[in-house]
Amino acid sequence: MRILANENVSATVIRTLRERGHDVLSVKESMRGENDLTILARAQAEQRLVVTHDKDFGELAFRIGLPAECGVILIRLSGEDADSDNQRVLQAIESRSDWASYFSVVSEDRIRMRPLPGVAPPPDATCNEDPPLQE
């Protein structure tokens, strides 16, 4: 999977995704300090799934209508236990392959997926709720 990990995604998640064979571009490593518009444009140009904790990407995709066919995953976890949060992020990202064309929110117990405006989901895409949380 081609992923653009925003600055707020942990180094542990980035490293583990890379170890598992994913192509991860880290904003911390190569685009530090860039604004969200630039980050989204890069993800779009390179067809990378955006993974972030920043709600502004939903604003850009829904209210402003900027292209985000690459897909966006917003991580909304409690932050109480970094190890558990990292495992949940990894489990969620790898649980599906149909992220493109969706704005998705990952929480402790579910994944909510909403089609992005003006973007037709791939023909084989499903917008099912939540694979079960695996411990």
Higher-scoring residue by pLDDT: 125, 56: 56
**pLDDT of 132 above 80:** no
Average pLDDT, the chain: 85
* Residue 7 structure tokens: 């600055």
What is the CATH architecture assignment of 2-115? 3-Layer(aba) Sandwich (3.40)
Please list the alpha-helical segments (H only) found in the chain: 11-19, 27-30, 36-46, 56-58, 82-94
Residues forming a β-bridge with 2:
23
Q: Is the pLDDT of residue 91 over 60?
A: yes
Rounded Cα gap, residues 85 and 70, in angstroms:
24
Residue 90 main-chain phi, psi, to 5 deg: -60, -45
The model's pLDDT over 34-75, given as tens digits with 9 standing for 90+, comes to 999 899 889 989 999 999 999 988 888 777 666 678 899 999
pLDDT, tens digit, for every residue of 100-121? 989 999 999 999 999 987 655 5
